[in-house]
Amino acid sequence: MNTAHVQHDLAELSGAWALMDNARQFAETWPDVFSLARQAAGEYLREHHPQSPDPDQVWWHVFDNATNGPTFTGWQHTGKPRLSLTLTQLWISRFDEGFQWAVDLLPVYGGFYRQDGSADAYGVDNQLELDPIKVKEDMRALDFAARVEQRTADFWALNGSAFEMLAKVSFVQQIQQSLAQGHIEPFDAERLRAWLGLEAEGPVGLETLRNKVPDSRFKIRQYEVQGGGHLLTLTTADGRILLYTPTAPTVLQAFADIAQLVAWVRERVSAPDAQQWFDQLHPPGWLASAAERREFRLRRAWQGRIPVSPWWPFGTGKEVTGDLFAQLKRMTQEDLNAQHRIIVSNEALDTQHWHDYITAATRVFGSFTLLFWPFSLFMVGLGMVSVALDVRASLVATNEKQRWEAFLSAFADALAVVLTSLDVAVGASAVGYRAAPQVLKATPKAWLPMSATGEELVPFASARRAGNPIQTPGRFQGVEVDAQGATWIEMNDLSLRTRFDTQLDSWVVTHERAPYGLMPALPVRLGEGGAWQLLAPEGDLDALVTDFWNVYMDADEVQSQALARRIEAQQRALLRSGNLPEFVGHMAPMDTQGNPCVTVNGTTHYTFWHEGDVHNSLLEQYSGQMSKINDLFSATRPRPTFVQLPELMHYLDNLFASMAELPRSTAPLLWRGVRGGRSGLAAHYRAGAVGPGDLLVSTDITSFTENPYIPRRFMVDKSSVGRPLEEITGQFDEHTVFYELVNDGKVTGVPVAPMTQWQESEVLFTPGRLFRIESVRDIAGQHYRFLRFRLREVEQAQGERVFDMRSGLPFDRQAYLERVQYDKLVERCFPASQWPEA
């Protein structure tokens, strides 16, 4: 690849990262009605109910009948409710009109329940202890509508200036996409790019994008589509027209003149899929009424009776003067205000028209509760087809978090296409990069070359053959640039993937499978003799290692959760690639033990997708009430008694079978921390009984993590998890063990964070997994110390000594079988053919 392009990309990355931060801020602060209502209702439940249930799992039901009963309200009901709303929905719509006047009837004909509207009886078994009258009074005092109004004002104050840049990046990407798909001609693309002040082709500079767009090259008109959508036309001096429909699959489309455009529209509204096309002009979730949709259908039917008359159904529109992207921002603000009209405010309740608001809000819950994707989101990222993710499929998901992930993924793709020359997969990961905490605190400019690198480069080594590095003096001297724009160096006879970190102003060694991942990034410098040198504080290898762990051994819940969210999104994407079954319907069927499952071609699957989320109740149980199940495998703890042995074995069989269906972790490094008193491995190592070259075997369900903040939690007692490091120095000792597992593509652990406790970024291994000890090293900071065992997973022993990972004692299969007392499970994890008796 031409290094000039890569130089351009490096120059633009800092700006791209700033824009990605803008996009993340946009996503995190977006004043979505339903997420804000969910948050407010959740806060209310946490304050007024001891169990703090999920507000989306609490229903307000209204009935036509009521009888006295031993319930919290004193009333119970039979039959299906007349009206059902979740507490989140109720926070928006408020109580309906009858209850506004007859407040004393609220607890008689209504109530809060843990059961949705499908039950036949509502009483003591499913009623929630919430007083409807007090909830109504509290809603007025809290005034949710005023809260949303303030949040919206704060949103625009924070994001208003960035919006136009985000929209412009999206528009440039749409030009390239429409050209590639044949919807516009090359000269159309040239005109549009020239209008934006861009070169005819190639990457775009951020400074150019910051310029205001002149209004002289195109005449622009905006049309508000019946029912609440948007459509724009851009007309040139020679009469050529570009149709701009941000929410439709084809965003930009060119026509020779107005007659051709009108004829095309007439053909579309007369086609069998006309309604589908019309609906695509509306942002999903827009408040188009049924009457408005019927009116369009009637117009289309009328048009069918007059086939010779061309028809433009969108009115005369209005001229857009000034900067197009400033106008798009105004349109977005108007759309957001329209969306918020479904909120029933105190002011609305005090007017004669308040019941219209309630009707509108209730209507919307039927179809669009979780599909509110306003026009603005299409303008800054969702109008494009993401290369890495099917964004439009994500629009019909019911998981809010995943939709925001889709938005950010799509915008990262757009930035990669618009601003860089990189392969889009490489570019998207580059522009989506967020510096890990240790990078933000590093100062490699002040570091010195190391005389010896030890084993720190080993996890980064690639099997790729070295190519021809650039010899021209400058930033790229000694660096090889491959066809995808990736950069490589050769050091200590190792081929190493690198990237230039503009924040550190240094080349850094990274992992080839995750160049923008969370692994330690090792700064390097080309020495005077033409050899690459690893840099460290004062040139000290120990300082290089502790510089990394000084960050992650300290308690920082905010940063830990931020990393955990990123890791969960990565694990979710990996699970999505695993061809797991999808369940469509209200509730998945259950097995005889009450575990939800899906049967495909006679095979039962406990892991499945449902409404955008991945589920495995067996794993969920393991992270909850079944967490003590590992006592079954322990030689020092009593056997579990909370469940009968046959039931326990049935559970383990299904759990291990379901784990076998999951894709394997792709994280380059995995970590695990163990308190000194819970592991005998360090003592056996220090006594010379175990060391590099020996194998460790997992004898229970073994947890590693992708999040470097997590190991510390398991290296200290539970009461010290959140305490500052300097207060718990004494809990680290010579027996504190830390495992670092190098993933060379052979790791069998499976990612489970989206199905368990996402904060722990967990990767689970079944019993019987073998890990070779690559190296052992004492690591000590000012307030911590541990013994690091660097591991690599192997398929089976080849004559090496094998030790129990927990105890550090030699592993004996027969003793293990006698302890577990379940032949089938032991044979599954420790096949007798691979574990011959000594």
Q: Check residues 311 and 805 and name the one with the higher pLDDT.
A: 805
Kindly write down the DSSP assignment for every residue of 684-707, as one continuous string.
Answer: HHHTTSS-TT-EEE--S-EEEES-
- With 80 as the cut, is the pLDDT of residue 518 above it? no
pLDDT of residue 385: 32
Closest CA to 459 of 708, 742, 253: 742
Average pLDDT of the chain is: 80
Q: Does the predicted TM-score (pTM) go above 0.85?
A: no
Annotation: CATH topology of 669-829: Toxin ADP-ribosyltransferase; Chain A, domain 1 (3.90.176)
Residue bearing tokens 């992207």: 325
Which among 662, 515, 654 has a CA at the least distance from the CA of 576? 662
DSSP string, 765-831: E-TT-EEEEEEEEEEE-SS-EEEEEEEEEESS-SS--EEETTT-SBP-HHHHHHHH--HHHHHHHS-
Q: Residue 533 forms beta bridges with which residues? A: 525
* Phi-psi region at 556: left, alpha or beta (left = phi > 0; alpha = psi -120 to 50): beta
Residue 159: name the closest of 323, 335, 25 by CA.
25
Q: Report the alpha-carbon distance of residue 392 to residue 396 in Å, rounded.
A: 7
Query: Which of 119-128, 168-177, 357-366 is predicted with the least confidence, judged by mean pLDDT?
Result: 357-366
Domain with CATH 3.90.176 in the chain: 669-829
CA 420 to each of CA 196, 413, 517: distance values in angstroms, whole numbers, following the listed order: 18, 10, 19
Judge whether 87 and 43 are in contact, CB under 8 Å.
no
- Contacts by residues 62-66 (CB-CB < 8 Å, ≥ 24 positions apart): 62/96, 62/109, 62/110, 63/109, 63/110, 63/122, 64/109, 66/108, 66/109
DSSP three-state, residue 274: helix
* Both tokens assigned to 135: 């909830």
Query: Alpha-carbon distance 166 to 408, whole Å?
Result: 11
Enumerate helices (H) and strands (E) in the chain, giving the number of each: 27, 32
Q: Which two tokens stand for residue 391?
A: 């964004």
**pLDDT of 398 strictly over 50:** no
Lowest mean pLDDT, pick from 39-48, 181-190, 419-428: 419-428
**Structure confidence by residue, pLDDT tens digits, 461-483:** 888 877 788 888 877 888 888 77
* Distance set, CA 665 to CA 6, 281, 712, 742, 754 (Å): 31, 40, 21, 11, 13
The span from the CA of 95 to the CA of 60, in Å, is 9
pLDDT tens per residue, range 101-119:
677 888 888 889 988 888 8
**Three-state secondary structure along 411-445?**
HHHHHHHHHCCCCHHHHHHHHCCCCCHHHHHCCHH
Mean pLDDT, range 558-563, rounded to an integer:
84
Nearby residues of 302 by Cβ (< 8 Å), 6 or more positions away: none
Dump pLDDT digits (tens) for 589-644. 888 888 899 999 999 999 999 877 899 999 988 887 677 888 888 877 777 777 78
Q: How far is CA 388 from the centre of its chain?
A: 13
Q: What is the DSSP letter of 466?
A: P
Nearest to 747 by CA among 798, 793, 695: 793
The least confident of 337-346, 454-463, 699-708, 777-786 is 337-346
Lowest average pLDDT, out of 408-412, 463-467, 724-728, goes to 408-412
Q: Are 412 and 432 in contact (CB under 8 A)?
A: yes
Q: Which residue has the tokens 């691979």?
A: 834
Q: b/e map of 647-668 (b: 16 or more CB within 10 Å)?
A: ebbebbebbbebbebbebbbbb
In sequence order, the β-bridge partners of residue 543 are: none
Q: Give the model's confidence band at 755: pLDDT under 50 very low, under 70 low, under 90 confident, else very high.
A: very high
Q: Where are any strands of DSSP class E within 611-718? A: 613-615, 669-674, 695-697, 702-705
- Number of neighbouring beta carbons within 10 Å of residue 829: 22
480 or 283: which carries more pLDDT confidence? 480
Pick from 82-96, 395-409, 527-541, 707-721 the range whose average pLDDT is largest. Answer: 707-721
Buried residues in 100-138 as b, exposed as e (16+ CB within 10 A): beeeeebbbbbbbbebbeebeebbeebbbebbbeebbee
- β-strands 480-481, 461-462 pairing: unpaired
In percent, how much of the chain has pLDDT > 70?
78
Closest Cα partner for 335 from 230, 251, 246, 408? 230
Q: What is the mean pLDDT of residues 483-504?
A: 83
CA 57 to chain CA centroid, nearest Å? 23
pLDDT at 212: 78
- Which two tokens mark 537? 């504080």
